[in-house]
Amino acid sequence: MEGIEHRVIKANGINMHVAEKGKGPVILFLHGFPELWYTWRHQITAFASLGYRALAPDLRGFGETEAPDDASTYTSLDVVGDLIALLDVVAADQDQVFVVGHDWGALIAWWLCMFRPDRVKALVNMSVAFNPRNPNMKPLEGLRALYGDDYYICRFQEPGVIEAEFREMGYERVLKGFFTYRDPLPLLIPKGKYFGQPDTPISLPSWFSEEDCKYYLSQYEKKGFTGALNYYRNINLNWQLTAPWTGSKIKVPVKFIVGDQDLTYNGPGIKDYLHKGGLKKNVPLLEQVVVMEGVAHFLQEENPDEVNKHIHDFFNKF
């Protein structure tokens, strides 16, 4: 963690915290849920030493970045607006940057490439594949029909409800539960019946230490989960706002990486979509789909060396 600099930038009307290290071509790292800039700690140090400038913001609502109260200000347009404004300040000398995304950060990276392909040199995205907009089905209704009301995204919808459950369970258990989740089946969180028995400790893997958990915990204890959950609460609004991009393709060079134990890789139809030309049709400049064996959702933390090599090998071409 030595040498990582932290600063707060005014971007798109909010104060945005960004961690950075290194000099050279910029790589913008975009985290997911319940992650923070810290998720990219292994990548920041590695790519700074390889001659890049690594930038990892806390996204709107997360960590030390401002969390607006209005839940409807966490849409794809707001968050991509934050990133463009951030790049205009911290990477003003570079017309285009490399981007790496994971989980919600991957979704945001797809949108960034869709809305502003002129700003992205190449993209490595992880876990969440590009899913073209279906004009005939609101996404939340589709998820509810497929997985039921206990599906985590459905359970996150009602403001205040899941926050109260998380508070009652304790943020430490919530964070450990998410980060250690390795079941490739859909994540269901029926009320009071998830992440094991409350009095049973959750054992941590070698790649996620008590010290790591303490950092995440310190940030979520300060801010709570509402800002992070607001991304899920805008799924249908994003669908509505992105109507003009129906049928749009991602037109930047892409490498996609996923773990074979990741629930996102084991959903209905996903493997066929990734391996039988579906993703390539929607992302014409897709160069490779990498499936990492024995790795679950948080692959950049679980197996950073292999992930870093995949990123470096791809960006090195440009």
Residue bearing tokens 């791809």: 314
> Given 31, 102, 297, 310, which residue is catalytic?
297
176: CB partners within 8 A, 6+ apart: 195, 202, 204, 213
**How many CB atoms are closer than 10 A to CB 186?**
17
The closest of 45, 57, 50, 53 to 109, measured between CA atoms, is 57
Q: Is there a contact between 304 and 46 (Cβ–Cβ < 8 Å)?
A: yes
**How many CB atoms are closer than 10 A to CB 164?**
9
> Given 58, 103, 147, 262, which residue is catalytic?
103
Q: Is there a contact between 230 and 61 (Cβ–Cβ < 8 Å)?
A: yes
> Given 152, 232, 265, 273, which residue is catalytic?
232
Tell me, yes or no, if 38 is annotated catalytic: no
Strand partners, 7: 18
**How many CB atoms are closer than 10 A to CB 293?**
9
Strand 53-57: give its sheet, edge to edge: 5-11, 14-21, 53-57, 26-30, 97-102, 120-126, 254-259, 286-292
For residue 119, give the amino acid letter.
Answer: R
**Encoded tokens for 14:** 């909010």
| Strand (E) or helix (H) holding 291 | strand 286-292
Spatial distance between the Cα atoms of 130 and 92, rounded to a whole number of angstroms:
28
The closest of 116, 105, 106 to 248, measured between CA atoms, is 116
Tell me, yes or no, if 42 is annotated catalytic: no
DSSP class of residue 58?
P
| Strand (E) or helix (H) holding 205 | none
Tell me, yes or no, if 297 is annotated catalytic: yes
**Encoded tokens for 41:** 């700690």
Active site residues: 103, 232, 297
